[in-house]
Amino acid sequence: MKKQLTAAILSAGLFAAATPVMAADYVIDTRGAHASINFKVNHLGYSWVIGRFDTFSGEFSYDANKPSDAKIAVTIDTKSVNSNHAERDKHIRTKDFLEVDKYPEAKFVSTKFETTDGQTGQLHGQFTLRGVTKDIVIDVTKVGEGQDPWGGYRAGFEGSTTITMKDYGIPMDLGPQSATVQLDLHIEGIKK
């Protein structure tokens, strides 16, 4: 009986050791406003229009031991665009720009993450805006991870990419200096 129990314990231990550690799943902390999706557009070559999307959601999977396996999916409510100017925001919501009545959501779904040091890398994925899906690359830096004061576990990243408005069918043309949009992402996730 003792030999059978010892064999069972050893078998269980070997099985547990052979089982791969799974990546942790996180929900992006938009409730606590610890995440943001910001944009920056050159205004006619004279200044910058800076804004954000107030409403978005998403989840990601991350394992510090296998950072190249990281995955993320984010959905943005395009009606929530906020450039700190109500009249401009009304215009951005029209068919000249985001056409939010027809395209209420923008989405990003990652396809791979390339990293050499586990702290920085390039997140590849598909970004959908105005019904057009294009491959983009986001330069990503890990901000940190660890226990929070409330008994949870968090991980945070920041990233940046630039898209060209015409690539997504945005018809408004404000000149060559205003043709692109810089997107800056600050993502903090709470482990599920």
Count CB atoms within 10 A of the CB of residue 57.
Answer: 14
| pLDDT at residue 192 in the model | 96
Q: Is the pLDDT of residue 161 over 90?
A: yes
pTM for the predicted model, two decimal places: 0.86
pLDDT single digits (tens) 25-75: 999 999 999 999 999 999 999 999 999 999 999 999 999 999 999 999 999
pLDDT single digits (tens) 106-144: 999 999 999 989 899 999 999 999 999 999 999 999 999
**Burial classification of residue 150, based on how many CB atoms lie within 10 Å of its CB (0-12 exposed, 13-18 middle, 19 or more buried):** exposed
Q: Which CATH class is domain 22-191?
A: mainly beta
Q: Is the pLDDT of residue 152 over 90?
A: yes
Radius of gyration of the chain (CA): 21
| pLDDT at residue 22 in the model | 62
| pLDDT at residue 23 in the model | 81
Band of residue 17 on the pLDDT scale cut at 50, 70, 90: very low
Domain segments of the chain as ranges: 22-191
